[in-house]
Chain A
Amino acid sequence: MKNTNPVWKFFVSVKLTVFLLLSLAATSVIGTLIPQNADPEIYFHRFGPFLFRLFDVLDIYDMYQAWWFQLLLFLLIANIVVCSIDRLSATWKLVFPKKLTFNPSKFEKQKEKKPFYVNESPSDLESKYTAFVAKKFSRQHMDKTEEGFVLFAEKWRWTRLGVYIVHFSVIMLIVGAIIGSLFGFKAFVNIPEGESVDHARLRNSSQVQPLGFTIRNDDFDISFYDTGAPKEFRSSLTILENGQEVFKKDIIVNDPLRYKGISIFMASYGEMAPERKSANDISMENIHLNFTINASGMVYKRKAEIGKPVAIPEGHGTFTLTAFEPEADFRGQNIGAALIGTLTPVQGDAVDILLPLHFPNFDKMRRGEVVISVADQKQETFSPIKKKDVRYYSGLEVNKDPGVWVVYSGFIIMIVGCYITFFMSHQQICIQVTRKNSKSRVLIVGIANKNKIGMQRRMEKMAERLADSR
């Protein structure tokens, strides 16, 4: 019975699958080229007013959550479900037939037929071949003929269901993800050493999530390799319920604490009272800037003052310092003292630029024609060393995801399903033995629903074994 519903017909098409898979692949590229969920100001500077508005309307800045991307995913799932249901009934009848019959005509159609001769009579071969086939195949059937016999055998009929297993696993992943987003949460909290919290702040909203227990940060520790690279971030946490200590654990990256379905991850750290020495790092009367012109590779040093425009060498417009910020912020990160200025190119819009004192390469990220940096500053590499008198806080990621076990089950089912689908096939063989004088003429034909070349090779090997008349 064919379903003629037009909606069904639309979703049952594999053309749609190909279209959706390629569309998902192509659109996913966008979000990797445009950093997601950054500060709108950064986008505005980078794209200008028109593109900024356009991308905003299309949700490009959070595209994997955008309605059109989710719609593509939904269509793919609908496509998978409809295709699987549509084909499953036919496959089911094949896998679980009411009566299992071997159809000789299927084997007769095969082109590759190479008979060989054995110095034994068919009746001698019968028991030998039956025993041999029984070892390799799960099901066999023999028909006596006038001149000998025909032996049918098969195995792995059920592997025809492999592809449905894979499709089912994809649906499990989606179901698990939906459970996670409906009944779970992703939150974070900063806890200073020695202090406790019983709530965390939700990501992507400013709401507070009560945890139902209290987390106390007993200690934060950071250690370094002798190269200066960080070796380990460690927070010693205690879980309290009604004032009672119920659980203690040191967490490090890759080893979270799990309690009552909530997982607590070591995510970041910071100093409680940042030193304000950076404010004195620079004398306002004596600021020098380096202008590196990309086209020529030349570096020019120019004196600058707040509020006074400086002509950029080689005719690249003007630059005006507007402010000094002792604790500048870039995408939520404290980058220390920085100067802020406005670059006015000869053509195009003016851009506000951040010039951190300690990171001379910072402005390279903008990929402009000219790179500006503050001259004559100590160039630090970012390597925080723990000091005795500094109090740290631990930045913790606090998550609950009840769907994760559905997703993990989906993962395992997907791997198993892919293996079955790709590397196991429904194999059927037919061995025909006929008397030729005192010898037997043997013909082996094998068919498989996948990897036909591999099946042929298996048949050649089997013929070699069976021709061996030991």
Chain B
Amino acid sequence: MNSSQLLSLVTFIYGFSATFYIAAWIFKKTLPATLAKWAAIAGVVINAAGFLLRWRESYALGYGHAPLSNMYESLVFFALTIVVIYLFIEIRYKTTVVGAFATPIAFLAMAYASLSPNVSDKIQPLIPALKSNWLIAHVVTCFFGYAAFAVAFGISIMYLIKNRAPDKETGILARLPGLNELDELTHQMVMFGFLFLSIGIITGAVWANSAWGTYWSWDPKETWSLITWFVYATLLHARMMRGWYGKKIAYLSILGFGAVMFTYFGVNYLPGLHSYGAS
């Protein structure tokens, strides 16, 4: 079995997990939640195994590089980081409802990687610009940031849903965590994401300086990562210094994730240095 087949399997496992998390939330059952959790854990293990197998396969082909060099590989890693961060939340905060909003994002990332005709799962050799020790540090930190923002986005959506009837005592809205907890969790995720996005931008800048002789060149991907950074910096300042709370923070978190998505996908349609991430 090669890594692509293994990773296609992960798509189904995440789909299964997402479905059961949603079912557990809607029907207020514990069995689907348990199934969903174990599926997510199995998914993470197989996802990581697929990632490592692909790394080995690239050595077998004589290219020998970490599988973090194109769209397919980044999507696989993105899904992995989302579920890892989610499972951390589930274990630490002892809640399964967040799973209904986080695992679907991982499922969509894997489904897009496996099924989209625009995303090739072929292992390609590294072009000269990508041959650097900074590749792993840069991509891994960026994607931990992206994944934390993805989870924050899911939680912000939960906040807005819950906010429609926060005092209801029965029904699916009642089973969402309280507004305060959701707000605090969004804030925690954004701080985590912001730290990693900052490290990601910094490692990228140091890398650019060693490859092209300039640490900042306003390339579209660089600029969009900075736009994302500005949006989340706004959120953090508004919350800590202006006491913004709840709905406003949820909207900013959604806007920030929009910027993340554009940095990740949209920029590929613009001309610039980062074009190798496109296919």
Contact = CB atoms under 8 A, between A and B. Distances in A.
A399 B213 contact: yes
B212 A418 contact: no
Given A32-B267, A256-B213, A407-B215, A227 B125 contact: yes
Contact of A408 (B188, B206, B212, B223): B206
Interface string A228-240: 0111110000000
Contacts of B223: 28, 31-32, 64
Contact of B212 (A29, A231, A265, A414): A265
Given A232-B128, A254-B211, A451-B188, A29 B227 contact: yes
A254 B210 contact: yes
Interface residues of A, number: 48
Contacts of A267: 212-213
Interface string A394-406: 0001010100100
A256 B209 CA distance: 10
B117 interface: no
A239 to B, nearest CB: 17
B interface secondary structure, majority = helix
A32 B270 contact: yes
A25 interface: yes
B206 A422 contact: no
B127 to A, nearest CB: 6
Interface string A16-52: 0110011011001101110110000000000000000
B8 interface: no
A256 B208 CA distance: 12
Contacts of A414: 198, 202
Interface residues of B, number: 48
Interface stretch (B44-52, B77-85, B158-166, B237-245): B237-245
Interface in B85-135: 124-125, 127-129, 131-132
A422 B212 contact: no
B193 to A, nearest CB: 10
A422 B242 contact: no
Contacts of B188: 451
A186 interface: yes
Interface in B206-236: 206-207, 209-216, 218, 220, 223-224, 226-227, 230-231, 233-234
Interface in B226-272: 226-227, 230-231, 233-234, 237-238, 241-242, 259, 267, 270-272
Given A21-B237, A29-B227, A256-B210, A422 B127 contact: no
B192 interface: yes
Contacts, number: 117
A422 B128 contact: no
A232 B129 CA distance: 9
Contacts of A411: 202, 205-206
A230 B128 contact: yes
Interface in A3-18: 14-15, 17-18
Nearest to A423: B191
A254 B125 contact: no
Interface in A248-296: 252-256, 263, 265, 267
A35 B213 contact: no
Interface in B157-194: 181, 184, 188, 191-192, 194
A28 B199 contact: no
Contacts of A255: 210
A229 B122 CA distance: 14
Contacts of A419: 195
Contact of B224 (A22, A32, A252, A253): A32
Interface of B: 63, 124-125, 127-129, 131-132, 181, 184, 188, 191-192, 194-195, 198-199, 202, 205-207, 209-216, 218, 220, 223-224, 226-227, 230-231, 233-234, 237-238, 241-242, 259, 267, 270-272
Given A21-B231, A418-B194, 16 more contacts: A14-B237, A18-B237, A22-B234, A25-B230, A28-B227, A28-B230, A31-B218, A31-B223, A35-B271, A229-B124, A233-B128, A254-B131, A401-B213, A411-B202, A422-B192, A422-B195
22 contacts: A14-B242, A22-B231, A24-B230, A29-B227, A177-B216, A231-B128, A232-B128, A253-B129, A254-B128, A254-B132, A254-B207, A265-B213, A267-B213, A397-B213, A404-B209, A404-B215, A408-B206, A411-B202, A415-B198, A422-B191, A423-B191, A423-B195
